[in-house]
Structures are given as structure tokens and as C-alpha cells.
Amino acid sequence: MADNKDYKVVHETIVPKKHPVRNAIGKFFAVIILAALFGLTERVVYEISGLYIPSVLEAVGIDVKESKVRVNDDGKQENSSGDNKESEKNATPAAIEEVKSDISTESAIKTDETKSDSAASEKSDADKNISESAVVVSENEGAADGDDDEDGNTINGYTELYQGLSDYSDTLNDSIVDVQTVVMGTDWFENPYETEKKTSGCIAAVTGKYAYIVTGYSAIKTGTDIRVTFRSGFTVKATLRNYNKDLDIALLVVKLKDTSDYELKKMKPARFLESHDIKRGSPVIAVGAPDGTIYSVVPGVVTSEGELKYVADRSLRTFKVNIPFSADGTGMIADLKGNVIGMLESGSGDQGIRKIIESADMTDVINSMMNGEGIPYIGIVACEFAGAESTTGRLGGILVDSVAEDSPAADAGIKKGDIIYEIDGRLVSSMDAYQKLLSVKETGDEVRLLIYREKRGEGTEKTIEVVTGDNRGIR
């Protein structure tokens, strides 16, 4: 060849043509597999969302209505909620019955049976039935006008109940007074200052010249310049007539020299219940200052009988109420018959359940203080006990738990652990019996106590003579 040239060789490969039928079949099966995977994934997501998403939405306050799948007359499926009236019209009777059972309960309150069938067909079953916890207003709107519902309870009845309590407590509060005392104190720099302390009191009696007020002794014992404000707004100076530390009661006396007839008529003495007729579950009302504010009112019930409270020469019956007195709350507990049945014991119990001393165990002391009579006093704190007869060979008796300092009992040599069996030859079977035998004595009387005392493992009986004192703060 004349000239030298490079030549490129083109290599070609013959590829056989794909068969069109096989290609179509492969694509068909690929679509089937992808559709199956997509359907499975959608079903899993649907089930998970159906289980958990409604509860999550309801937890955050979003109302979710469950959709129902119904079958129409053509055999096709329809997806409708309980509010979809058009779908419910097209549903078969069997499907409509299914919706009823899902929405309403057996105890649901039904609408008036006098409605016509045409009117009933225009409202869905979901609108005609509600759950048993709902309140239904009848077609004539009787409940809105104050008529009774099926249970006989109405808003008006509830209002009338508390209006009655309000009127009743207003009458009770005519026996309540506001007691103010001036308390002297000194600051860090020993500069004197005055503060006013308030508590509530109760009118025990009104005579032609005087009014007698019962209040808590611990609330006024450190105060001076005591003043009393009556419900009518009349304020007058009061004098401490008597007190009893063990019962925490004080008796104030007020002169009524310049009191008008109107103010005298507004002074209503309280009526104290003198019997122990207090039953659990009985409705009561607290007046005075139960929440710390004068003339406040709190209703409640007697929850139970309380344990006995033992003080000098006495055992006091108590009961418990569910009235939430505040920390500085004072006052009286009254039944719904106009009787004061108890007085709040200072610092008693928790805020929820409070212990109240029955007034029947305090009226004799109040009467004695008003009449200027002495209160016989020995000065022992004692309680009943059981099982001692196996050792002493005697029934009854009270066990001395403590002896007050400088009391007649301490002066006579009575000691803790002694058992008192007799007063002046009469059997002491309980604290009530001891209290009754002592109450008939006069202050200054000499009484003989038969006691049992153990010493070095040996028990002996002896008679001790005691001169009774006077358990009043002011003679």
C-alpha cells in the first residue's frame, strides 16, 4: 500500500430482542407485589392509628367520633359518622339498629312519646338518645321552669335548700357577738405597742340589766379592755366575770344601761342542748367565726362520736364533724332545731375532721358561773379502767392519771396510780358517777375518799380526807 493509515475496526454485538409477552408478565407480577406491600403497610398504619390516635386526641380535649361502616341497599359500603343523617337514611334497618346500640344505653332518658312518627323520622337516633350521665330538658322545657325531673331534684330545689340554711343561720347569728381585746406587747427595742385580737362569743343569757357572753378563755386571757359588738352594731365594754381553764370557757358580763329597745330585741340568747342526743350523720351548722370571719357560716354533718376527753374532775363527751374550721376559727355547732350542741375545742384535730365538746357537759359550769356559785374541785384527772378487780377484788373505781399542782388532791396526798372507789361511802363506778357525787358538794366541804394503793407489790386500802376547792378563775 502506498500510504500508512490506521484503521479502526467497529465491533458490533447482536442482542436478541426481548420477548414482548414475557416482558408484560414480569411487569404485571411486579405491580402485584408492590400493591400487596403497599396494602399491607396501609393496613398496619390504619390499625395502629385506630388504636392509639383517638385516645391521644381525647386526652388533649379533641372530640373524636367513631366512624361506622354501613351497607346500603345496593350492597355497597359507606363510611359515615354518627352525625351523618343522609347516610343513616340510606342505611338498612339492621344498620340503623347497630348505630342505636353504639350510642344510647338502656337507662337513657327518652323524648316525649307523643311526638309523631314523621317528626321522629326526621331526627336521628343519635339525637334522640343520650348517655345516662347527661341531663335532658323535656320538649315543654319544664326543667327550665323549675319543674322536678325524674329523680325529684331540681336547681330550684337545691337553691331553696341552701336559702333555707342561710335564713336559719341568720337567726342563729343573732346569738353571736364579736369579742375584741387589746393585747399589749413590746418590740425588739422594748417599745410598747397594742394589737387587737378578735374572737367570737355566744349570748348565754339576757336579764334586765346584764347580758352574759360565753367565749373561749384562751382567746382573751392575755387581753385587756374587752369590748363586745352585738349583731345590731351596738358596741359596749365587757368585764371578765369567771373562767374555767380546764374547759377553756370564759364568762363575760355586759351592762345594758344605755341599750335601746331595738338593740335589746336583737339580743337572742342561745339555747344549749342539755341532753346527749347527738347522732352520727345528723346535719349541723357552724356559726360564729368558723373560717376566722365573724358571722361566717359552714354546714356539715356529725361524722362520729369522739373519744372522751378527761380534765380535772370531769370526763367530757365529744363528737366529730366534717366542717373545715380555719386555724383561727372559733364558734358553736348547732343542730337544725335551734340548739347549740357543742363548742369548738381550741386547737382540736385536723382541718378536715374537727373534735367538738358537747354542750351538755358544760351547761352546769356555765350556769354556776352566771349565778356566782362555786364549782367543787378536788383536782384529779382520772379515767375508767377494766380488769383491776382481779387484783383489788373490787368492782368499779376510777384510776388517777395525774394530780394538779397545788390542788386539794395534792394537798391531801393523793398520787398518780391510786384507785378511787368511794366518796363519802358511796360507790364510784365511773367518771360520770364521780362527777355527780362531787357536784352536789359545796366548796369548802370535807369529803372522804376510799382509795386503793399499791406499794412494793402490795395493795392496801385507805381513807383520805379532802377539802374541796373552787374551780373558778375569779371568786
| 360/131: higher pLDDT | 360
Q: CA-CA distances (angstroms) from residue 468 to 51, 112, 180, 406, 410?
A: 82, 79, 35, 12, 11
Lowest mean pLDDT among 79-93, 333-347, 446-460: 79-93
318 and 235 in one domain? Answer: no
Strand residue runs (E) in 24-156: 68-71, 77-80
CA 187 and chain centroid, separation: 40
Q: Is residue 136 part of a domain?
A: no
Say what the pLDDT of residue 126 is: 37
Q: Residue 216's closest CA among 289, 315, 285, 293?
A: 289
Say what the pLDDT of residue 13 is: 54
CATH number at residue 423: 2.30.42.10
Q: Is residue 13 part of a domain?
A: no
345 and 308 in one domain? Answer: yes
What mean pLDDT is predicted for residues 282-290? 92
Q: CA-CA distances (angstroms) from residue 179 to 257, 289, 474?
A: 19, 11, 20
pLDDT band for 448, please (50, 70, 90 cuts).
very high
391 and 453 in one domain? Answer: yes
Say what the pLDDT of residue 122 is: 45
DSSP 273-307: --S----TT-EEEEEEETTSSTT--EEEEEEEEPP
237-275 b/e with 16+ CB inside 10 Å = b? Answer: ebebbbbbebbbbbbbbbebeebeeebeeebeebebbee
Q: Residue 248's closest CA among 338, 178, 314?
A: 314
Is residue 418 within 8 A of residue 452, CB to CB? The reply is yes
Lowest mean pLDDT among 124-133, 254-263, 411-420: 124-133
Q: Is residue 410 part of a domain?
A: yes
The pLDDT tens digits of the residues spanning 298-309 come to 999 999 988 888
Structural domain ending residue among the three candidates 342, 370, 398: 370
Match 454485538 to its residue by C-alpha cell.
13
What mean pLDDT is predicted for residues 200-216? 92
Say what the pLDDT of residue 52 is: 63
> Residue 385 is placed in which grid cell?
379502767
Say what the pLDDT of residue 59 is: 61
Q: Is residue 346 part of a domain?
A: yes
Q: What pTM was computed for the model?
A: 0.64
Whether pLDDT at 145 is above 70: no
Whether pLDDT at 469 is above 90: yes
182 and 102 in one domain? Answer: no
pLDDT band for 153, please (50, 70, 90 cuts).
low
> Residue 188 is placed in which grid cell?
425588739
223 and 184 in one domain? Answer: yes
Structural domain ending residue among the three candidates 239, 266, 293: 266
421 and 384 in one domain? Answer: yes
Range of the domain at 229: 175-266
Say what the pLDDT of residue 276 is: 86
Q: Is residue 147 part of a domain?
A: no
CATH number at residue 196: 2.40.10.10
What mean pLDDT is predicted for residues 115-142? 40
CB-based contacts of 339, cutoff 8 Å, min separation 6: 271, 272, 273
Q: Is residue 441 part of a domain?
A: yes
| 438/329: higher pLDDT | 438
Whether pLDDT at 238 is above 90: yes
385 and 462 in one domain? Answer: yes
Whether pLDDT at 242 is above 80: yes
The pLDDT tens digits of the residues spanning 375-426 come to 999 999 999 877 667 777 788 889 999 999 999 999 999 999 999 999 999 9
Distance CA 406, CA 357 (A): 27
CB-based contacts of 224, cutoff 8 Å, min separation 6: 181, 182, 183, 184
362 and 324 in one domain? Answer: yes
Structural domain ending residue among the three candidates 336, 370, 404: 370
> What mean pLDDT, rounded, does the chain reach?
76
Is residue 212 within 8 A of residue 179, CB to CB? The reply is no
Say what the pLDDT of residue 223 is: 83
389 and 419 in one domain? Answer: yes
Give the H/E segment covering residue 420.
Answer: strand 419-423
Q: How many domains does the chain have?
A: 5
Q: How many CA atoms lie within 13 A of 424 on its CB side?
A: 13
The pLDDT tens digits of the residues spanning 157-203 come to 878 888 888 889 889 999 999 999 988 777 787 788 778 888 999 99
Q: Is residue 395 part of a domain?
A: yes
What mean pLDDT is predicted for residues 87-99? 40
Q: Is residue 48 part of a domain?
A: yes
Whether pLDDT at 336 is above 80: yes
The pLDDT tens digits of the residues spanning 36-62 come to 787 777 777 777 766 666 665 666 555
pLDDT band for 11, please (50, 70, 90 cuts).
low
327 and 250 in one domain? Answer: no
74 and 33 in one domain? Answer: no
- Torsion sign across C-alpha atoms 368, 372, 373, 376: positive
355 and 287 in one domain? Answer: yes
